[in-house]
Amino acid sequence: MKNARNLIAVIALAICAVFLIFSSIMMHPFGKPSDSSMDDYIISNAQNETGANNAVTSVVFDYRGFDTLGEATVLFTAVAGVIMLFRREKHE
């Protein structure tokens, strides 16, 4: 049983290592921007479409608003779970 667990752990570690090596090879060099038409679109239209003066704010709160709402919900749920786990119970 212990040998099977070790084998599964080694296989999982090897898969993670292959994924990390492959993704590091495929990354853009540091400092080289990616060529994306979406970047040009957001820079050109962000202030007119959203009314935000900051392009980052327009992306986070307008273009990806539902994603941000989901992340905030996950964070709130995690904090509430931790509070429930570590709260002190009143002993009578």
Cα–Cα distance, 22 to 82 (Å, whole number): 35
State the pTM of this model: 0.47
What digits encode the pLDDT tens for the residues 47-85? 888 888 888 888 888 888 888 899 999 999 999 999 999
Cα–Cα distance, 33 to 20 (Å, whole number): 21
Place of tokens 């040998």: 3
List helix spans (H) across the chain: 2-26, 37-50, 55-58, 65-86
Mean pLDDT of 4-16: 94
Q: Where are the domains of the chain?
A: 2-86
Nearest to 54 by CA among 62, 7, 2: 62
Confidence of residue 92 (pLDDT cuts 50, 70, 90): low
| Res. 1: pLDDT tops 80 | no
What digits encode the pLDDT tens for the residues 16-53? 999 999 999 988 888 777 777 888 888 888 888 888 88
Q: What is the pLDDT of residue 77?
A: 97
Q: What is the pLDDT of residue 33?
A: 74
